Chain A
């Protein structure tokens, strides 16, 4: 996965603050997009955008926290850095609970802000990469036949070929063929690698116990 240029999306209803923030971020060669209101931002935001969001808490009509909820609802996982004029604790706690990266008090020091932005961009990158991997694994798993999936479950559960054959009521040789096929499809060379991949995908293949349920 290539690492595309991230954009810092800044939302603040105060035009002077918005302009100054954008100017500061551009001075350290960050890609910046500014929005004068939460509504303007919601109209232009797309799921494919990457980077991070710098958000003022106190804005008319839709405040920062409400915008955050709206983004969660729309499944837009951009990391958010909140800026606030008066850093009251309940608001910051709620923001962090909803997954904010940081909660900074105005006037904000450039080091703190840039550090937070870098952390947020990194987090965004990580999230995106994890998501991409997951998608890849799921894609591979989708190529398996039903019998191969069954066998995969048993293998990951640590059972021997002989035991699997007995469970499924087929000969051990057939199990070996399925096993070779599925390892080839999933592009793994060892059982350990196979277990790791399944864990990462966070999917539990059909296990004998589950099937019984």
Chain B
């Protein structure tokens, strides 16, 4: 084979290799636009190199004319590919320059087929044979030039202007790598344009005797590209190394996390909502009593829950999916060994862009010990509350006896009066009827008092019902009314009639209020008799809270005691057990409210408590 053929085949095959490589990358879908445009450019360069080789071997003028005419097709492809690459890979260059370069090239293609034999020659008159080193003979066209010939160099100038302008833009902004690439690509493309087109013009004009070197001048571009490509590969290798390192770190972190999780009896889990598959730390299976090989789905998770908790957990999950993605619940699981354990679970859902729940991440803790302690404490508290209620009732018994004696006196007197009237000769039946009516009314009054006492004595579970706070206040005031009278205390009641109901246990709230009122009364033992006033007020406080305040005109609370009065067994009363206020606080806290005290600016103390309003009524 002649060395010319070898020389021209090398860039052709290199271009083809590049073209195929980038086509492959393009097909895989990585950096698609840039790869496609490079592939096209390289293909065009291959075609051009092939055509150059064919023109060297042309044996007739017709053959030469056809090759030169068709050469404008790969040239157009090359132009468009370069424009496309610069415009979209570097995101630079003026659009109008791009359009003019492309437009001129299209025009060149059209003119090549419509005027003369091709764009270069009106007519190729002959073939000049040149002998190169080593006795190699090649053909060069000779003839009259086509006047439209100038369109070709113009389009090359337009392309060069576009590329240089783009390179200039990129140099200004961009990173160091960006600048290097800009110089490399714009330099190689400009070099290619000037060399190939300039040389072509000179050859066509018959000024120099040499074959076309368009394909050869494309080589710097290929070299620049291969350089960039290897840079990219190097970078990828570095990234891979870093990835490996961070994976190792991740593994260590995971081990640490597992260790921490198992130490804290904590289970970390992830629920792939789409695949419905739950992953969890090793401890998770152990916690749930599920074999480690077994897969956990949402349904299988629900199945191991306590029957009473299943619905509640399901609702919590649905709520978090529909809401902001936060999930929180407490549930019981019956373990394989038969005991029931309590768990607290908290998680967060990740949503896709179109707001579809994708997965949920969370933690679960075994809280059995805490719950057991709480239950024991609750039981103890209930007993203490009952004890305190009985104690308070004991203190109240005197006034309760008085309270009850009133209707009983009325009943007895009425009955005896009726007896006396009936013993008379003339019986006034309407009078007897009046008496009987009064007896019934008084009997009901006595029954009402009994009912109230019984309610206070009853040891019952906390109810969760809507309670009218104003009614609680009035009931308690009724209960203590005779006590207040005997203590010479007047009551000033200020009730917000529009106060919505709260949620809770009426009897317990009565108990708390009773304690506070009794305390206020005790506080006024040494207050001047005409100055003993009790204030009870209900009002709406803040958002969704009912507030009750109980004030007195006693000496107030010493500031150093303000914090400790709510502690159990703190007392200033000699006969007191010091449980009253601590139980009040327990009751109010159990209702989700707050209890606190402050001193009046004048004299005396005020106790406040708040209770959350029944949700159905606050709206």
Q: Does A107 sit at the interface, judged by CB under 8 A?
A: yes
> Which residues of chain A are near B74, meaning CB under 8 Å?
none
0/1 string, B399-422, CB within 8 A of A gives 1: 101111111111111101111110
Best-buried of B416, B488, B490 by chain A (most CB within 10 Å): B416
Given contacts A20-B417, A86-B402, contact A106 B438 (CB under 8 A): no
In Å, the complex CA distance between A4 and B561 comes to 65
> Which residues of chain B are near A88, meaning CB under 8 Å?
398
> Which residues of chain A are near B409, meaning CB under 8 Å?
17, 20-21, 83, 106-108
B408 touches A86 (CB 8 A): no
Q: Does A110 sit at the interface, judged by CB under 8 A?
A: yes
B414 touches A24 (CB 8 A): yes
> Which residues of chain B are near A85, meaning CB under 8 Å?
401-406, 482
In Å, the complex CA distance between A31 and B438 comes to 22
Q: Does A26 sit at the interface, judged by CB under 8 A?
A: yes
In Å, the complex CA distance between A40 and B416 comes to 27
> Which residues of chain A are near B398, meaning CB under 8 Å?
86, 88
Q: Does A60 sit at the interface, judged by CB under 8 A?
A: yes
Q: Does A192 sit at the interface, judged by CB under 8 A?
A: no
> Which residues of chain A are near B485, meaning CB under 8 Å?
13, 58-60
In Å, the complex CA distance between A31 and B411 comes to 21
In Å, the complex CA distance between A83 and B412 comes to 14
In Å, the complex CA distance between A20 and B488 comes to 26
> Which residues of chain A are near B402, meaning CB under 8 Å?
58, 84-86, 106
Given contacts A26-B417, A85-B482, contact A20 B410 (CB under 8 A): yes
A17 touches B420 (CB 8 A): no
Contact of B420 among A24, A60, A108 (CB under 8 A): A24
Q: Does A63 sit at the interface, judged by CB under 8 A?
A: yes
In Å, the complex CA distance between A19 and B442 comes to 12
> Which residues of chain A are near B412, meaning CB under 8 Å?
20, 107-110
Contact of B413 among A17, A58, A86 (CB under 8 A): A17
Cβ-closest chain A residue relative to B485: A60
In Å, the complex CA distance between A84 and B409 comes to 10
> Which residues of chain A are near B393, meaning CB under 8 Å?
none
Give min CB distance, A90 to chain B, whole Å: 12
Give the A-B pair count, Cβ closer than 8 A: 88
Q: Does A181 sit at the interface, judged by CB under 8 A?
A: no
B:435-468 near A, CB below 8 Å: 435, 438, 441-442, 445
Give min CB distance, A104 to chain B, whole Å: 10
A:78-126 near B, CB below 8 Å: 83-86, 88, 105-110
Give min CB distance, B11 to chain A, whole Å: 119
Q: Does A193 sit at the interface, judged by CB under 8 A?
A: no
Q: Does A27 sit at the interface, judged by CB under 8 A?
A: yes
B486 touches A23 (CB 8 A): no
0/1 string, A137-175, CB within 8 A of B gives 1: 000000000000000000000000000000000000000
A16 touches B406 (CB 8 A): yes
B:385-405 near A, CB below 8 Å: 398-399, 401-405
Cβ-closest chain B residue relative to A110: B416
Given contacts A16-B441, A86-B401, A86-B402, contact A24 B416 (CB under 8 A): yes
Give min CB distance, B399 to chain A, whole Å: 8
Residues of A within 8 A of B (CB): 13-14, 16-17, 19-21, 23-24, 26-28, 58-61, 63, 83-86, 88, 105-110
**Sampled A-B contacts (19; CB under 8 Å):** A13-B485, A16-B445, A20-B413, A20-B414, A24-B414, A26-B417, A27-B417, A27-B420, A28-B420, A58-B482, A58-B485, A59-B485, A84-B402, A85-B402, A85-B406, A86-B399, A88-B398, A107-B405, A107-B408
